[in-house]
Structure 1
Amino acid sequence: MRLLTAAKSAAAVTSALLLANGTAYALSADKPTRPGAGAGDVRIELGAPVITREDILVHAPLRTVWKIQTDVENRPTWQPDVDTVVKDTPGRLRPGSVFRWTTEGLDITSTVRQADHGKRLAWGGPAQGIGAVHVWTFTPTPDGVLVHTEESWAGDPVTADRAAPQAALDNSLHHWLGNLEREAESQAGT
Structure 2
Amino acid sequence: MARKISLFFIIASFLSSCYSLEKSVEASLPYSEEINWPKTYKPTEAKFFVHNEIEIEASPDVVWNILVQAEAWPEWYEGASEVNVQNTTSGILTERAIFTWQTMGLNFTSSIREFVPPYRLSWESEKKSITGYHAWLIVPTDTGCQLITSESQRGWLTFFEKTFQPKKLRRLHDVWLAAIKEKAENNN
Aligned to 2:144: 144
CA contact (8 A) 2:50 2:170 kept: yes
CA distance in 2 between partners of 1:81 and 1:162 (Å): 18
Check the 8 A contact 1:124/1:133 in 2, yes or no. Answer: yes
Residue 61 (structure 2) pairs with residue 63 (structure 1): yes
Q: Which residue of 2 aligns with 1:83?
A: 81
Q: Shift of the alpha carbon at 1:185?
A: 1.3
- 2:60–2:119 contact (8 Å) kept in structure 1: no
| Alignment-derived partner of residue 112 in structure 2 | 112
Letter in 2 for 1:72: A
Matched letter for residue 129 of structure 1: S
How far is the alpha carbon of 1:144 from its aligned partner? Answer: 1.1
Give the distance between the partners of 1:143 and 1:81, measured in 2 at CA: 28
* Correspondence for 2:71: 73
Residue 16 of structure 1 aligns with which residue?
A: none
| 3-state SS in 1 of match to 2:78 | coil
Say how many residue pairs are matched.
168
Inter-CA distance 111–64: structure 2 relative to 1 (3 Å threshold): same
Shift of 1:128: 4.6
Name the Cα RMSD after superposition.
3.1
Q: Counterparts of 1:95 and 1:133 in 2: how far apart (Å)?
A: 16
- Kindly state the Cα deviation for residue 66 of structure 1 after the two structures are TM-superposed: 0.3
Map of 1:93 onto structure 2:
93
How far off its partner does 1:87 sit?
0.8
Shift of 1:164: 2.7
- The CA distance in 2 between the partners of 1:153 and 1:165, in whole Å, is 14
1:156 aligned onto 2:153: no
- TM (normalized to structure 2)? 0.75
Secondary structure of the residue aligned to 1:96 is: coil
1:45 aligns with 2:42: yes
Once the two structures are superposed, what CA deviation does each residue of 1:55-74 show, in whole Å capped at 9, x if it has no partner? 10011122110000011111
Mapped to 1, the partners of 2:23 and 2:142 lie a distance apart of: 26
User: Match of 1:29?
Assistant: 24
- Shift in Å at residue 112 of structure 1? 0.7
SS of corresponding position for 2:109:
strand
Higher helix share: 2
Runs of 5+ unmatched residues, structure 2: 10-20
Deviation at 1:27, TM superposition (A): 9.9
